[in-house]
Chains A and B, each alone.
Chain A
Amino acid sequence: MNSPNKQERLEWLDAGRALGDLSPEEEAEWKPLAEVVSEEDGSDELFEFSLDAIVATLEQGLSPAVSLPEELKDQISAGAKDFHQPADREVTKGEVNARGDQAEEENENILRPSFWSRPAIGWAAAAVLALLLIVQSRPDGGGGADAPSLVEQVERDPDLLRRPFAGTGEEADPVGEVLWSDTQKQGVMLLGGLPENDPTVSQYQLWIVDPARDDVHPVDGGVFDIPASTSGPVVVPIAATLPIADPAAFVITVEQPGGVVVSKQEQVVAIAKS
């Protein structure tokens, strides 16, 4: 292989390294080739526009703008302090108990949000025995005590989109609706009639069909669970992983734990559409 060919080959392999798709054979080829080209060429040209840096910039430029969840942010901040100030003591039992108490308190707080009693949400009011807030498994799903206020918040939108859920003839007989605020770019699902799931076996996943964005691939709207203790409708914040422009339908599927990037739609349990 002459020098230009070697350089071209090295560039090709560099591109694979930057994209992270080198085969083991290519990986083995890359190292000696990089040394040879570097010795023969001695030019810095290849390094002027680092492919790694270009890829990192693409990653940044094409990624949807998201915020680090507050809870995780706090954990990282604490970790940063520990990184430079290694722990010199063990966590006391009292601290553990305090954390447990706080968690129990939070569990109490997620029950019975006040908005449910309002007549505006009437699709299953008669069936309500209890109301449980579902905390989404996905990071940007919000949840916790914020969800009831999220419902109130989206309901303030005068152009609020409401779409009732319908079943698909599967075992589940879902009732409920989607509330989506296009202005606020956020929404929430009020759901009943879905069977409980074991999160270690499968999870529910929401998909948002948005032809304005992509008429083939729906946007991942987040993963959630229906706990065993649920005897009434649940409130699930929508955690769209990409900006939504004009939602045409909301589809709930059953997927593997953690959800999937692309659904095969083998088990569609509910659809809400215009």
Chain B
Amino acid sequence: MALGEPKAMEQCIASYGGLVWSIAHKYSRSHSDAEDLVQEIFTALWRSASRFDESAGSETTFIGMLARRRAIDWLRKQGRRPDFEPLTPNDAEMSTFSHQGAAKIDHGIVMGALKRLPEETQKLFRFHFERGLSHSEIADQTGMPLGTVKTRLRSGLLELRTYMKRLDPQPNTSL
């Protein structure tokens, strides 16, 4: 794909188009915005393809991370989500994009760890990831203060990572 091999690019579009579309759809509020964002994500993907390292993480994770970063950056450019101050322009540039640390991210383990979180935290995660709601929109929906939403999402994410480490099938060789 990094070489511009047409078949590989077609295969990438076929395999991950739905994922990218799903992310773009959640972070935009209109058909035309979502279309623009999808095109932007794929353009970034063609540019960044040479940075993919399969030993660092799966293709799905690589594309998912890239799509999400572009979506967040796109929101920032649109001036949307005032409570949502994401990446600096430099961070958002794909020249610095890396999926280091993604090697141990297994879909089953992540979703398994999610189920161990308190029900209320899971609900916040669903609002954020399934529906693409901003923190303030979640606060409106749940009646929680904005700061509480932010705190619970962050602490939930860290807690989830802790569970993942426990669920990691590989023994800790550092002991």
Query: B-contacting residues of A (Cβ < 8 Å)?
Result: 11-12, 15-24, 26-27, 46-69, 72-73, 75-77, 79-81, 83-85, 136-141, 216-217, 223, 241-242, 257-262
Contacts and interface: CB of A to CB of B under 8 A. Distances in A.
Nearest to A219: B131
A207 to B, nearest CB: 13
A241 B65 CA distance: 22
A260 to B, nearest CB: 7
A21 B29 contact: no
Contacts of A54: 105, 110, 157, 160-161, 164
A254 to B, nearest CB: 15
B20 A57 contact: no
B42 A139 contact: no
Contacts, number: 212
Contact of A61 (B39, B110, B155, B157): B110
Given A53-B102, A77-B9, A80-B13, A64 B130 contact: yes
A62 B38 contact: no
A50 B154 contact: no
B contact patch SS: helix
Contacts of B86: 17, 20-22
Given A20-B84, A62-B125, A217-B141, A57 B21 contact: no
A65 B107 CA distance: 15
Interface in B124-146: 125-126, 128-133, 135, 137, 140-141
A260 B13 contact: no
B95 interface: no
A223 B43 CA distance: 27
19 contacts: A21-B154, A49-B104, A51-B161, A53-B57, A53-B101, A58-B110, A61-B111, A63-B19, A63-B129, A63-B130, A72-B21, A79-B42, A80-B6, A139-B35, A140-B25, A217-B131, A258-B31, A259-B29, A261-B29
